[in-house]
Amino acid sequence: MGKGHGYGKVILFNEHFVVYGIPAIASAIDKKTIAEVKKCSSNEEFILHDEREETPGYKKEKMEHQRESIIRIKRAMGIDQCIEIWLGGDLRAASGVGASAASCAAIARAIADEFGMSCSDAEINEFAYEGEKAYHGNPSGIDNTCATFGGLVWYEKGKDMERMSVKHPVEIVMGDTGIVANTKKAVEGVRERKEKMPELYEKIFDDAKKLVYEARDAIMDEDWELVGKLMNKNHELLQKIEVSSDELDYLVNIAMKAGAYGAKMTGGGLGGYMVALTPGKELQEKVARAIEETGHYALRTKIGI
């Protein structure tokens, strides 16, 4: 039986903007999806046992995307035999945490293992990107890059990713709105509004580009107070392009009131997760509990691992 893994992720800066060639910063987190694959003799394309913990309704909502994704991965890898797949691990299946990309990378690795294919991480990343197209239409590539390689990433679409590193991994909290988001719809909405209001969007996109270079320097300096302030500004830009939501804004405000250095939506938006920067275990726990007291799920993790 073949086995593979894919990391969850958090986008710290510039989701959506990255689709248009503006740099983004993202990090793998210390939660991952594990896939196991074995050959089978059925006439079906595949048999799936999805045992991941989930935001209620996520797996059902994403079922058709998931089916297309697995078929895309198989075809990209030249596999025409039925496979049986088990999905598990400690990454909760939800919007905004790279769950689809983590599963794509894990499945691709497990297929390669089961069929004795000698695939580099770069090749696994390409297969995972093919799978991501089923979920996102025109994916930026940042999710599958984090899922495959791990670590802290500076990413520009169409270019080789650049690894970033910090000496001291830092705590974050990710709060789940409980809303299963449609990333494809969010991406298409930005494109439509950008075409209708080009001058307004050009200004917003220019601001996002300037901000991410400042954020890169702040992260490398481990100036977490400045990183937090820039996360707040990035959230405002994402609000302006209408990919946040009342639920995301609510959790962002809860985190800030509890003392987070900064907070913003993360991922496709319109639901899913937000992220709060909470250096130190004590602050992380305080912010996580504040989110949990509202009845929402809080994920305690780190970036820069």
Instruction: Count CB neighbours of 224 within 10 A.
Output: 20
- Give the neighbor-by-neighbor strand order of the sheet with 262-265: 262-265, 273-277, 170-176, 297-303
Question: 299 has which bridge partners?
Answer: 174
Catalytic annotation on 207? no
What is the rounded CA–CA span in Å between residue 215 and residue 218? 5
Tokens of 197: 């209001």
Tokens 């939800």 identify what position? 94
Catalytic residue, from 143, 160, 176, 207: name it. 143
The DSSP line for the chain is -EEEEEEEEEEEE-TTGGGGT--EEEEEEEEEEEEEEEE---SSSEEEEE---BSTTHHHHTHHHHHHHHHHHHHHTT--S-EEEEEEESS-B-TTTTHHHHHHHHHHHHHHHHTT----HHHHHHHHHHHHHHHHSS--SHHHHHHHH-SEEEE-TTS--EEE--SS-EEEEEEE-S----HHHHHHHHHHHHHHSHHHHHHHHHHHHHHHHHHHHHHHTT-HHHHHHHHHHHHHHHHHTT---HHHHHHHHHHHHTT-SEEEE-SS-SSSEEEEE--SHHHHHHHHHHHHTTT-EEEEEEE--
Cα four-point dihedral sign 56, 143, 151, 240:
negative
Give the active site residues.
143
